[in-house]
Amino acid sequence: MSQKLTTKQEVEQFLSQYDTFLFDCDGVLWLGTHILPKVVETLTLLRSLGKKLIFVTNNSTKSRREYTQKFEKFGLTVTAEEIFGSAFASAVYLKNVAKLPKEKSKVWVLGQSGIEEELAEVGIESLGGSNQALDEEFTTESPFLKLDPEVGAVIAGLDTKVNYHRLAITLQYLLQPDVKFIATNIDSTYPQKGMILPGAGSIIESVAFASGRTPVACGKPNQAMMEAIVAQHGFDKKRACMVGDRLNTDMKFGRDGGLGTLLVLTGIETVDKIHALEASEQPLYFADKLGDIFELLQ
Ligand SMILES: O=C(O)[C@H](O)[C@H](O)COP(=O)(O)O
């Protein structure tokens, strides 16, 4: 049964079990540009206790570099090596697993600059994405209908500028059987201050349904992402904890990876949703917010 962290002793006991903490971002650390209460204090405290912090987000709109700038704005110094985003995970998958043939080495992007930047980092040329010509209304005269024969894959992720033009051209590439279909993540929604918004998964579902194809999803809960993180940071999974706000991505990612799990209620989930699960599916711990760790230790 999931245990709620409500006392200083419970928090001390919780912290004593783990040396490494993997943090989801949206819904745990912040809601869009709104940092959640006592997050900076909590992360600073954990660092002072010698804990290793790694940030694992399914949000593909920003590259690791752009995320370091977002952390900086909140007064937190985080290096790109401490951040794993689904855009990075997708680029690594394409580079090291999908291994596109030389003659089909380009990628069509349905998504934002974070994906384009991470693809460029691994030497993959991309089309589409944030290209402003795609903001134009779609017509059958669209120049993008002249498909690039060197495109060997589609990567689809969260795109807050999604429109019919982008969906129509993405579908044309997905109707080519030899073009691979990669999704950055499956999140149906994501939390913003006071509301829930359509996530990458809901956008990707549009072209998956239209094309009749199912993508390979590279973000949480895909364990390839966990393996990449463990390979880079070399921590003991038995003494690591995944902290997240979504049961079917963050908590599944942590549980399947053999990590401890802490669910916070500042994002998508509720206590009722936790208790509706089988005991084995529930997070080990839950809390109203991440900042409770700092507040309860005072
Ligand atoms: O793609 C989305 O729907 C959102 O960006 C995603 O849900 C947020 O990612 P998180 O930081 O919660 O993993």
Question: What are the extents of the domains in the chain?
Answer: 3-58+221-297, 100-217
The answer on whether 220 is annotated among ligand-binding residues is yes
Q: Residue 209: its pLDDT value, please?
A: 98
The answer on whether 159 is annotated among ligand-binding residues is no
- β-strand pairing of 285-287 with 260-264: parallel
Question: What does the block give as tokens for 24?
Answer: 């989801």
The answer to whether the complex's ipTM is over 0.95 is: no
Judged against a pLDDT cut of 90, whether residue 89 lies above it is answered with yes
Question: What does the block give as tokens for 140?
Answer: 């059958």
The answer on whether 193 is annotated among ligand-binding residues is no
Q: What is the mean pLDDT of residues 185-189?
A: 96
Ligand 1, atom 7, lies closest to the CA of: 190
Distance between CA atoms of residues 74 and 71, nearest Å: 5
236-295 pLDDT, tens digit per residue, is: 999 999 999 999 999 999 999 999 999 999 999 999 999 999 999 999 999 999 999 999
What is the CATH number that goes with domain 100-217?
A: 3.40.50.1000
Q: Which residue has the tokens 């894959």?
A: 153
Catalytic residue, candidates 24, 159, 250, 292: 24
Question: Is 26 among the residues known to form the active site?
Answer: yes
Probe ligand 1: pick from 187, 247, 248, 251, max atoms within 8 Å of CB? 187
Distance in Å, CA 90 to ligand 1 centroid: 14
Distance in Å, CA 253 to ligand 1 centroid: 14
Please provide the DSSP assignment of 169-211 as one string: HHHHHHTSTTSEEEES---SEEEETTEEEE-HHHHHHHHHHHH
28-53 pLDDT, tens digit per residue, is: 999 999 999 999 999 999 999 999 99
Report the pocket of ligand 1 as residue ranges, CB < 6 Å.
Answer: 24-27, 57-59, 158, 185, 187, 190, 199-200
114-137 pLDDT, tens digit per residue, is: 999 999 999 999 999 999 999 999
Q: Do domains 3-58+221-297 and 100-217 have the same CATH topology?
A: yes
Q: What is the mean pLDDT of residues 194-208?
A: 96
Judged against a pLDDT cut of 90, whether residue 99 lies above it is answered with no
Distance between CA atoms of residues 152 and 247, nearest Å: 33
Q: Residue 218: its pLDDT value, please?
A: 95
Distance between CA atoms of residues 168 and 120, nearest Å: 24
Give CB contacts under 8 A, 24+ apart, made by 42-45: 42/290, 42/291, 42/293, 42/294, 43/76, 44/76, 45/293, 45/294, 45/297
Indicate the pTM of the whole model: 0.94
Distance in Å, CA 21 to ligand 1 centroid: 18
CATH architecture of the domain covering 3-58+221-297 = 3-Layer(aba) Sandwich (3.40)
Q: How confident is the model at residue 194 (pLDDT cuts 50, 70, 90)?
A: confident
Ligand 1, atom 6, lies closest to the CA of: 59
The answer on whether 256 is annotated among ligand-binding residues is no
